[in-house]
Amino acid sequence: MAERQRILSGMRPTGRLHLGNLHGALENWVQLQNQYDCYFFVADWHALTTDYASPEAIRQNTWDMFLDWLSAGLDPQLCTMFIQSDIKEHAELYLLLGMITPLPWLERNPTYKEQQQQLDQKDLSTYGFLGYPVLQAADIIIYRANGVPVGKDQLPHIELTREIARRFNFMYKSEIFPIPDGLLTESPVLPGLDGRKMSKSYGNCIFITESEKEISEKISKMMTDPQRIRRNDPGDPEVSPVFAYHKLYSSPAQVEQIAEGCRTAGIGCVECKRILIRNVISRLAPIRERRLKLEGEIDKVKQIIADGAARARRESVITMELVRRAIGI
């Protein structure tokens, strides 16, 4: 049998996951683990590139994210899940790749300038922040991954990874590194409660482990079609974030009924939200239950993290032996 293709991806530890993370990435990962040899890790060193001045939250966020991954259905029997800083080999490869990466490749990286401008309250004129994609390249190629499922915003980093891997192979006459493909995750856009992109910094999130009460309160306050002011005004479902959620959480028949009801003022926003609340609660219930259970099994989770690290380390040690031999140092 041909070896299964290897897939790798990571997330920066932003803490508890929200529905945007779930539908944008995690559900896809959960599917992939059945078909591929998957590696998923929490990129805590990457968090440090922007949060080096206040690292206190990174540890807790890493733990919370790991627990949410398990709650959402990543299965340590099916995939290798670990924490980046547990595998020191990433740092060694990062250093070596830094030797061969031309500075202009990094200065040209579109996310470099963009992020510096967006996060202008932080001083990101550091060596570590410029080197962000080199560390990401090391994360990927140290496992000799073939595919990297990511969102659009990460494609420039995958392109850089490909160039760095090619350059290493060429320069040291090796064939150690496959050239990985970025696998664009086509995901439905799920707006936040206020209609903007769901993001922690906007405070417009529903978290994947939210309680029934919280789900109910948040959806009740959610934005709808702003033109529909009175109960008997007809509305346009396509401009309402509530309807975007129905498309994901409600049956096709319900979606049909709600679209029609909204356009004809046959259904009010309160009723429409009541249906959505019920559907979201029942869909998220198993995730929340798993999370509550895991919170009582701290030692078990620690063991999962240790086992994942051991597996990841075994692979990265093999790669690093090849790398050192290729360079001759």
Residues lying near ligand TRP in the complex (CB under 6 A) are found at 8-12, 43, 46, 136, 139-140, 148, 150, 154, 157
Complex with ligand TRP: residue 83 or 281, whichever CB lies closer: 83
User: How far is residue 21's CA from residue 6's CA, in Å, rounded to a whole number?
Assistant: 22
Smallest separation (angstroms) from ligand TRP to the CB of 148: 5
258-267: list long-range contacts, CB under 8 Å, 24+ apart.
262/225, 262/228, 262/234, 262/235, 262/236, 262/237, 263/234, 263/235, 263/236, 263/237, 264/234, 265/231, 265/232, 265/233, 265/234, 265/235
CA distance 9 to 25: 10
Q: Compute the least distance from the CB of residue 185 to ligand TRP, in Å.
A: 11
Q: Is 265 helix (H, G, I), strand (E, B) or coil?
A: coil
Of the pair 8, 323, the CB lying nearest ligand TRP is at 8
Nearest approach, Cβ of 12 to ligand TRP (angstroms)?
A: 5
Token pair, residue 290, equals 């798993």
Please state the length of the chain: 329
Shortest distance, CB of residue 182 to ligand TRP, whole angstroms?
9
Residue whose CB is less far from ligand TRP, 26 or 262: 26
Residue with smaller CB distance to ligand TRP, 8 or 58: 8
State whether residue 2 is helix, strand or coil.
coil
Q: Kindly state the smallest distance separating residue 78's Cβ from ligand TRP, in Å.
A: 19
Q: Which of 150/242 has CB closer to ligand TRP?
A: 150
In the complex, least distance from residue 124 CB atom to ligand TRP, rounded to whole angstroms: 14
Are the C-beta atoms of residues 33 and 75 closer than 8 Å to each other? yes
Q: Please state, in angstroms and rounded to a whole number, the distance separating the CA atoms of residues 61 and 170.
A: 39
Q: What whole-number distance in Å separates Cα of residue 191 and Cα of residue 222?
A: 11
Output 140 or 259, the one with its CB closest to ligand TRP.
Answer: 140
Alpha-carbon Rg for the chain, nearest whole angstrom, is 22
